[in-house]
Structure 1
Amino acid sequence: MTFPNGSLSRRHVLRGLGAALTLPLLDAMGPKLAFGAPSKFTPRAASLAVQPRMICCYVPNGVNILAWMPTGSGADYTLSPTLEMLKDHRDDFTVVTGCGHPASEGGHSGADTWLTAADLKAVPGSDYSNRISVDQLVAGVHGKQTRFPSLQLADGSGTGSAGHSHTLSFDAGGTPLPAENSPKRLFERLFVPETAADREATLRRYAERKSILDSVLGEAQALDRRLGRDDRQKLDEYLSSVRQTEDRVERLVDWVDVPKPAVDPKDLQLASQPGNKHDRPMWLDVMLELSYLAFQTDATRVVTFEWSREAGGFGGGGENHHELSHHGGDAGMLKQLAAIDRFHLSRLARFMDFLKATQEGDGTMLDGTAILFGSGMNSGEGGEHSPKNLPTLVAGGRRLGLKHGQHLAHDVDAHPPMANLLLSVAQAMGVETDRFADATGTLTGLT
């Protein structure tokens, strides 16, 4: 028999030649797995403070570059079939093509270098060494004014492994900053008030960590006098990381008595699971909704969000994103890959809708929010996972000086480094520097 929802009964039998055979357990016998109902979350009318913000959204495995690349350049370019998903925001974003990270090896280490532009094998004798990511430069400027200097979000918690990172953020010593993947835990961290017991536990942890850090620093200072120049440099890098840890611990105390913003979890699908392909649209939406709320309440001004780790991820219908990225030029796989790209841009468009619908000063939140969207690899015409011509969009941030409604096209073999773009965004966010990684200057036309 067939159930009303279209699934088959296990008791369904095949009859032929006088035999009755019970079917084995098939996928069709289970209930139809409908994707979660669309989110009912709606944007707030206004933002609490006029502040510059930045969010970096990363998609793994590259894109179907054939369907991604627009035609023409400058303001008169034509949106590609994939970029048509953002047509309602045409004046709110810039397409950047042709650029890449010259020091990157491409492949599935793209997330590790997307915001750092590092050569991961630059240190002799080391299999992996990274450098500070551009978001942490920005957090160094704005983080002192917010409860959280920055937020790291991803579909995998923690830091992942070298070359297959679960985070886009790296501190001054190149150490990865762990990411959060649970909407529920993220909401609690941002908006659930601390109890008296929580406060005492925070102060107790602070005292314990402060004691440990003081001991480490004291021993390091004694050791420093007996080391050679190279070892002293390594020790300085280590101590810099220790001091950053000390700063983070002290911040817990500074904010322990400051009430968190009041946010109603109603309409937030906090139970969505990042590793469940059927939850994929819901999980992306709720993590972006929480990013929006974190910005709107000024809980943080810097967010990095790795939508999926490299060599992983699902499309909006549960498709295996990584498998499709190794398309080998197959037309059918490229078609499915383009569908995943459009799904991703539909979620970005929704997030931009929220920001644009929220008034802030004499403009909107989108005007004050710089958005970097893209991938640290290009699956190319044959699925080769190249570090060249990285698919990149810069959106929002008009009040910060970012210019949009254009296609900044560059020669794939003779282009400015992607670090120029990162430097431009950092300067727009108020970082006073003219250097970042291998940047040769800012990206012409973006600011």
Structure 2
Amino acid sequence: MFRTPLSRRHVLRGAGAALALPFLDAMLPRLQSAPSSFKPWAKSIGPAPRMIFCYVPNGVNIFEWVPKDDGEKYALSPTLDTLKDHRSDFTVISGLGHPAAQGGHSGADTWLTAANLKGKPGADYTNTVSVDQVAAQLHGKKTRFPSLQISDKGGTGNALHSNTLSFDANGTPMPAESSPRRLFERLFVPDAASDRAATLKRYAERRSILDDVAAESAALNSKLGPKDRMKMDEYLTSVRATEKQVERLQGWVDRPKPDVKDGGLQLNSKPEDGHDRPMWLDVMLELSYLAFVTDLTRVVTFEWSREASGYGGAGENHHELSHHGGDPGMLGKLAVIDRFHLTKLARFLGLLKATTDGDGTVLDRTVVMYGSGMNSGAGGEHSPKNLPLLVAGGRKLGLKHGRHLAHNPAKAPPLSNVLLSLVQKAGVETQKFADSTGTLTGLV
């Protein structure tokens, strides 16, 4: 995995003297990740609409990302050329952004919500529901897991620097998983009898608490004024949603998990280890793929790195390079990271495309949205406009591909139009999401 570096303590000896060597490139470890041996399945257990949202932080080298021309005959940009084998399977979308977003490193917080995080008077931070959770409300009724949240940090993180892309109906962040092994065990390892008993006991206790809370809240409600009643209604709505979730979880306790072995999965990869970084991205995408083909879930959000952090394929400091100030050398290194990320996306698209799903492939019924919630711009500024974005897959759901949909950032429709288009094609019957003005022309 590593080429053994020359020791910095190495000395040259001669004539009774010892001379220390100067610092040499040969003293640096050479990172070389082991390629994954995971193989795609021949077919899924059955066709279904699916969605995965893949987020990269810190923006991209926009000069090498955006194609120079648009339409179906556009030429791939130097960075997007990494995806040339999948050209007919994706659409590049430029010029779009979130009008209500503040920009900077809060991009992950708003990428799937389009919220104005400072929009509520008297509140430091207020988010809204993310589009993945709108889809999960529909598809989660049919799967063991309504949705999966993955990120390199895990948990929820901090306001304006979230470790998750997913926010529930109240705008509350939903914790993400960072460990491949823990995620695999959650998805595929059967529970022992003692675990089952403990789980059922925990659900029963939770139901009892919820019943008590609902009863006391109803009694209190009659004593409140109109404004407080409104707040209490919002609270009770959350309680009822939790009750439904507990009921759904109880229904899955005795249903066996899919029989999936861990062969080829590098489950010990660490997300914040520069050497492990390529392997960690591969295995988390492989687990997302397995969750789809076994129909454990139909909705995944994957924050590849938290904003203001991240690594390249050889451990480069992604965040530092995003503050390039227009420096050509830093921009060149940023483009190398961008292309590294797209090699991982290309491999994932290949897995989806290699697996039969009804009368097509898994990619044909899987919507893949990839991009960032900020644009590092011409001088390293962190703008919420002209965000790097592409959408792949979903042909059998009605998405059109093989083109560059270019928009003037000053007159572009909101990015929410893309989110509305995708959630509609996933089967959700809605005409509005966040600040959308309609679906995106050319994508549907």
TM over 0.5: yes
CA change 1:242–1:27 in 2 (3 A) is farther
Q: CA deviation at 1:252?
A: 2.0
1:144-163 alignment, distance < 5 Å: 144-163=141-160
Q: Secondary structure at the match of 1:38?
A: coil
Q: CA deviation at 1:12?
A: 2.3
Q: CA deviation at 1:29?
A: 5.6
Q: Secondary structure at the match of 1:214?
A: helix
Contact 1:158–1:167 (CA under 8 A) maintained in structure 2? yes
Q: CA deviation at 1:365?
A: 0.5
Q: For 1:436 and 1:359, locate their aligned partners in 2 and report how far apart those are by CA, in whole Å.
A: 32
Q: How big is each residue's C-alpha offset from its partner over 1:370-404, in whole Å with a ceiling of 9 and x where there is no partner?
A: 00101100000111010000111010000000000
Question: Which amino acid is the alignment partner of residue 18 of structure 2?
Answer: A
Contact 1:202–1:252 (CA under 8 A) maintained in structure 2? no
- TM-score scaled by structure 2? 0.96
Equivalent of 2:355 in 340, 355, 358: 358
Tell me if 1:8 matches 2:6: yes
Tell me if 1:440 matches 2:437: yes
**1:20 — aligned with what?**
18
Contact 1:278–1:318 (CA under 8 A) maintained in structure 2? yes
Contact 1:173–1:240 (CA under 8 A) maintained in structure 2? no
Question: Which amino acid is the alignment partner of residue 317 of structure 1?
Answer: A
Question: Which amino acid is the alignment partner of residue 296 of structure 1?
Answer: V
CA change 1:91–1:9 in 2 (3 A) is closer
- TM-score scaled by structure 1? 0.96
Q: Secondary structure at the match of 1:145?
A: coil
Tell me if 1:209 matches 2:206: yes
**2:379 — aligned with what?**
382
Q: For 2:48 and 2:133, locate their aligned partners in 1 and report how far apart those are by CA, in whole Å.
A: 17
Q: How big is each residue's C-alpha offset from its partner over 1:290-326, in whole Å with a ceiling of 9 and x where there is no partner?
A: 0000000000000000000000000111100000000
CA change 1:278–1:16 in 2 (3 A) is same
Equivalent of 1:312 in 288, 309, 324: 309
Q: For 1:412 and 1:446, locate their aligned partners in 2 and report how far apart those are by CA, in whole Å.
A: 18
Contact 2:58–2:319 (CA under 8 A) maintained in structure 1? yes
Return 363-372 or 206-215, whichever deviates more: 206-215
Contact 2:3–2:30 (CA under 8 A) maintained in structure 1? no
Contact 1:54–1:302 (CA under 8 A) maintained in structure 2? yes
Equivalent of 1:132 in 104, 129, 132: 129
1:329-340 alignment, distance < 5 Å: 329-340=326-337
**1:81 — aligned with what?**
78
Q: Secondary structure at the match of 2:18?
A: strand
Q: CA deviation at 1:168?
A: 0.5
Q: Secondary structure at the match of 1:278?
A: coil
Q: For 1:26 and 1:203, locate their aligned partners in 2 and report how far apart those are by CA, in whole Å.
A: 60
Q: CA deviation at 1:246?
A: 2.4
Q: For 2:4 and 2:266, locate their aligned partners in 1 and report how far apart those are by CA, in whole Å.
A: 27
Q: CA deviation at 1:17?
A: 11
Question: Which amino acid is the alignment partner of residue 304 of structure 1?
Answer: T
Q: For 1:214 and 1:7, locate their aligned partners in 2 and report how far apart those are by CA, in whole Å.
A: 63
CA change 1:5–1:277 in 2 (3 A) is closer
Q: Secondary structure at the match of 2:218?
A: helix
Q: For 2:236 and 2:105, locate their aligned partners in 1 and report how far apart those are by CA, in whole Å.
A: 30
Contact 2:31–2:314 (CA under 8 A) maintained in structure 1? no
Q: CA deviation at 1:13?
A: 1.9
**1:58 — aligned with what?**
55
Equivalent of 2:34 in 31, 34, 37: 37
User: Unpaired segments of 5 or more residues in structure 2?
Assistant: none
**1:91 — aligned with what?**
88
Return 257-266 or 246-255, whichever deviates more: 246-255
Tell me if 1:271 matches 2:271: no
**2:109 — aligned with what?**
112
Q: CA deviation at 1:34?
A: 3.6
Q: CA deviation at 1:8?
A: 2.4
Tell me if 1:399 matches 2:410: no
User: Unpaired segments of 5 or more residues in structure 1?
Assistant: none
CA change 1:190–1:21 in 2 (3 A) is same
**2:417 — aligned with what?**
420
Q: CA deviation at 1:23?
A: 6.5
Q: CA deviation at 1:73?
A: 1.1
Return 211-220 or 267-276, whichever deviates more: 211-220
Q: How big is each residue's C-alpha offset from its partner over 1:256-279, in whole Å with a ceiling of 9 and x where there is no partner?
A: 000000001011000000111110
**1:298 — aligned with what?**
295
Q: CA deviation at 1:21?
A: 4.7
**2:168 — aligned with what?**
171
Q: Secondary structure at the match of 2:285?
A: helix
Q: For 2:154 and 2:85, locate their aligned partners in 1 and report how far apart those are by CA, in whole Å.
A: 34
Question: Which amino acid is the alignment partner of residue 245 of structure 1?
Answer: T
Question: Which amino acid is the alignment partner of residue 264 of structure 1?
Answer: K
Question: Which amino acid is the alignment partner of residue 101 of structure 1?
Answer: H
Question: Which amino acid is the alignment partner of residue 196 of structure 1?
Answer: A
CA change 1:54–1:23 in 2 (3 A) is same
Q: Secondary structure at the match of 1:386?
A: coil
Contact 2:312–2:340 (CA under 8 A) maintained in structure 1? yes
Q: How big is each residue's C-alpha offset from its partner over 1:404-445, in whole Å with a ceiling of 9 and x where there is no partner?
A: 001111111011011011000010001101011110111111
Question: Which amino acid is the alignment partner of residue 154 of structure 1?
Answer: S
Contact 2:113–2:434 (CA under 8 A) maintained in structure 1? yes
Question: Which amino acid is the alignment partner of residue 302 of structure 1?
Answer: V
- Matched residue pairs, number? 443
**2:67 — aligned with what?**
70
Equivalent of 2:286 in 286, 289, 293: 289
**2:369 — aligned with what?**
372
Q: Secondary structure at the match of 2:200?
A: helix
